[in-house]
Structure 1
Amino acid sequence: MKLNIAIAAFGIAGLVGAAHAQDPNLARNLAATCANCHGTNGKSLGGMESLAGEPKEKLLQKLADYRSGDKPATIMHQIVVGYTDEQLDLITTWFAAQK
C-alpha cells in the first residue's frame, strides 16, 4: 500500500513538472501576477520600480534578499516565499527580456 502511494505521488509530481515544461506561456503567466504593483509587462507607471529590462541576476538577488529578510519590504517578503526557485528563474528571465 505504501509503495503504491509513493508511486502515485511520484507520478503526479512528474505530470505537474511535465505540464510546466509544456506550457510556453508559463513564465509570462507567472510574471503577470506582478502587474498589480509593477505594471503590465513590468513597466511601472510610478510608485513601484519597473522590472522590464532589468538584468535577471539583479532581479534574482533582490528576490533572494526579500526571501531572507535582508531587504525590508511591506509585502514582497511574503510574496516571494510562494514561488519555487524554478518559478522565480522563469519570472526574472521573462522580465529581463522585456524592453
Structure 2
Amino acid sequence: MKRLKSTALAALLLAAAAAHAADPNLGRNLAATCANCHGTDGKAVPGSGLDALAGESKEKLLQKLADFKSGDKPASIMHQISRGYTDEQLRLIAEYFAAQK
C-alpha cells in the first residue's frame, strides 16, 4: 500500500510538472502581476517614476530581479515580491518583458 501511494504521488508530481511546462502563456500570466506598478505589458506611464520593463534585455531584467531577491538592491516592495517566485518563474517573466516592444 505504501508503494502504491509513493507511485501515485510521483505520477501526480510528474503530471503537474508537465502541465506547468506545457503552458505557453505562463510567462505572460506571471508578468500580469507586474501591471499594477509597471503598466500593461511593462509599458510604465511616463513620469511615474517606475521602470518600464518592455523591451529591456532578458539579462538586465534577470539581474535586477536577482538583486531584489537577494536584497542587494534596495526597494520598497520588489524585494518581497521577487522572493515569491522561483528562479524559473523569474526567467519566464524576464523573457516575456524582453519580447515586448
> In structure 2, the residue corresponding to 1:82 is in which secondary structure?
coil
Q: Which amino acid aligns with 1:10?
A: A
Partner of 1:53: 55
Gaps of 5+ in 1: none
Q: Which has the larger radius of gyration?
A: 2
Gaps of 5+ in 2: none
Aligned equivalents of 1:70, 1:3: Cα separation in 2: 45
Runs of 4+ in 1 over 6 A off after TM superposition: none
- Tell me by how many angstroms 1:5 deviates: 3.8
- Out of 86, 89, 94, the residue aligned to residue 92 of structure 1 is 94
Partner of 2:76: 74
Which has the higher mean CA deviation after the structures are superposed, 50-59 or 8-17? 8-17
Aligned length: 99
Give the TM-score, by structure 1 length: 0.90
- Tell me by how many angstroms 1:91 deviates: 0.6
| % identity of equivalent residues | 67
